[in-house]
Structure 1
Amino acid sequence: MENKSYQNPAELLVKEYLLADSFISYTSIICGICGCKMVYDLTKLFSRVYFKSYPSLSKVQRTEWSNRSISTFHAIFITAMSLYFVFWSNLYSDNQYASLVTFRSSALSTFSLGFTSDVKTTHKNKCPMSQVSVGYFLADLGMIIWFYPSLGGMEYASILLFDHSLAVLHHLLSLTAVAYSMLTGEGQLYTFMVLISETTTPGINLRWYLDTVGMKRTRAYLINGVVIFVAWLVARILLFMYLFYHVYLHYDQVKQIHGYGLVLVFVVPSVLSVMNLIWFAKIIRGLRKTIAKRH
């Protein structure tokens, strides 16, 4: 009976306040940021115990070491959910529903992207971690600015852009697109398509780890480079072409998105595509140079 007395107020707090429609967006963003902080701290603790070279790293390197674990954790989560929605779920199938594909959402999609005003579910079905992507981008963007210009370098973890200015631009574009989709329920399919590009993040982070611990001349480093090349080609080049083709085929539905969302549908993927192509050329040159040295 005593346990139930504590349980009932706790359930009431969660259901009526933390998961209420008016609070869930704030609750879930905070949970996303707290999740990033938890991964950051656990990485430091784990690395001290299991990686002998970790204590010898500089303070900036140790910070980036933990920051890349956050981006890896986020990338694995959001890539899995994005792949499911884009290729396996029936939610965005042309033959599944009569409603416009640009306005569809579900309880599971809101778990991945965040609270949407158009979702036809009760607050009981919503999860406090629903805005993990927004929380991640806010946390990561904050770390980029806080440690500027030390954190990241030429091979910044999740995006591989030229410098921190482009890194901030990337995060602002991503944050704006995800937040808009989260708050309005519009264009969630295209948000998931763009987020599939996070597939390349674990490989990029692993490359930095290998370089940092002195394994740049190993076979593992070369294999990692080949994997990055293939993943980048598929997730950041071919998939973006598919996105634009999908927009073309469904333009009659896309044009019904409100003005600001319509701009995001065209501008964000276009800008990211240019960035991806520029860096892909660098990846090709770097891979050819590495293979030539080994021969």
Structure 2
Amino acid sequence: MDVPVDPVMAYKYKAELLVKDYLLADSYVPYAAVLVGILMCKLAYDFTRFISSFHYKGYASLTKMQKVEWNNRGMSTVHAIFITVMSVYLVFFSGLFSDNLDGPVTSRSSSLSSFTLGVSIGYFITDIAMIYWYYPSLGGMEYVVHHMLSLMSTVYAMLSGEAHVYIYMGLITETTTPGINLRWFLDAAGMKNSKAYLVNGAAMVVTWLVARIILFMYLFYHMFVHYDQIKQMDTFGYFLVLIAPSIIFVMNLLWFSKILRGLKKTMAKRH
């Protein structure tokens, strides 16, 4: 007597096999992950356009370039949420980078951490391509420098298996991206004088201070404590770990000063 097969369970089983045997198979991780990241960007971009055109009446009145940036920011928000969740999990909860484990923390990686980096690489490639195509409408040279440093560091980490811990500490800073994008959305929607705009600005200051200033200080402290392990890295990786976070941290400080000035200006107008 044949036992009936639950189609939902069968689909779930096949999906698990696909992830385990293909997407997370070591030899396929770099290629599959990057393709998944690019596909995720395409779907997020189209989904933002679809939802906005149906549920936001003002979308139709935006200029062509504003629509492109609107959809691009929807795409970056999806990536920011994904990479923030994965980075926090891998750094603080997975135990992968715990000091209780044997071996240098700089050489630790896993199929999951490599796959996650690949998804981010797919995003950075897509976003850099869009920035280049529409330059400078989607961002000036500072965005190009930031993205190129992030892309180079992430590609190196994924292919070499080194410095995953520092890449993920840096990627946690993406937690500020949804707030930045929301600020732009509110401005484009003509809500610059709304309470939501002011509250979002204050939230941006807090999240930026925590994720892009304090967390980077912890990153530098971690590098100082584990410097003997960093010295064991490949020469290119050694200099990349020392230089890239320093440049990005300086950029974070400059952007933070602009955010503070913007918030003060908005509050001054209110009073």
How high is the TM-score relative to the length of structure 1? 0.82
The correspondence for 1:56, drawn from 57, 61, 64, is 61
Report the Cα offset of residue 151 of structure 1: 2.3
The correspondence for 1:103, drawn from 102, 107, 115, is 107
CA RMSD of aligned residues (A): 2.3
Matches for 1:145-294 after TM superposition, within 5 Å: 145-152=132-139, 164-294=140-270
- List per-residue Cα deviations over 1:217-250 (Å, max 9, x = no partner): 0000000000000011011111111100110011
Report the counterpart of residue 38 of structure 2 in structure 1.
33
- List per-residue Cα deviations over 1:191-238 (Å, max 9, x = no partner): 000001101000000000000000000000000000000011011111
Q: Which amino acid aligns with 1:287?
A: L
The correspondence for 1:84, drawn from 73, 86, 89, is 89
Q: Which amino acid aligns with 1:229?
A: V
Report the Cα offset of residue 284 of structure 1: 1.3
Instruction: Please say which of residues 192-201 and 143-152 is displaced more in the overlay.
Output: 143-152
Q: 1:133 to 1:287 in 2, by over 3 A?
A: same
Q: Which amino acid aligns with 2:148?
A: L
Q: 1:207 to 1:23 in 2, by over 3 A?
A: same
Q: Unpaired segments of 5 or more residues in structure 1?
A: 1-6, 114-130, 153-163
Distance in 2 separating the partners of 1:146 and 1:82: 29
Q: 1:49 to 1:103 in 2, by over 3 A?
A: same
Q: Unpaired segments of 5 or more residues in structure 2?
A: 1-10
Q: Which amino acid aligns with 1:145?
A: Y
Q: 1:98 to 1:16 in 2, by over 3 A?
A: closer
Distance in 2 separating the partners of 1:25 and 1:17: 11
Q: Which amino acid aligns with 2:232?
A: Q
Distance in 2 separating the partners of 1:15 and 1:196: 26
Distance in 2 separating the partners of 1:12 and 1:254: 36
How high is the TM-score relative to the length of structure 2? 0.90
Q: 1:25 to 1:66 in 2, by over 3 A?
A: same
Distance in 1 separating the partners of 2:23 and 2:256: 43
SS of match in other structure, 1:53: helix
Distance in 1 separating the partners of 2:154 and 2:101: 23
Distance in 2 separating the partners of 1:133 and 1:110: 10
SS of match in other structure, 2:153: helix
Report the counterpart of residue 159 of structure 1 in structure 2.
none
Report the counterpart of residue 123 of structure 2 in structure 1.
136
Report the Cα offset of residue 170 of structure 1: 0.8
Q: 1:22 to 1:235 in 2, by over 3 A?
A: same
Q: 1:14 to 1:102 in 2, by over 3 A?
A: closer
SS of match in other structure, 2:42: helix
Distance in 2 separating the partners of 1:290 and 1:12: 53
Say whether the 8 Å CA contact 2:26–2:111 is kept in structure 1.
no
Q: 1:249 to 1:225 in 2, by over 3 A?
A: same
Distance in 1 separating the partners of 2:196 and 2:17: 52
Q: 1:142 to 1:196 in 2, by over 3 A?
A: same
Distance in 1 separating the partners of 2:238 and 2:253: 23
Distance in 1 separating the partners of 2:202 and 2:191: 16
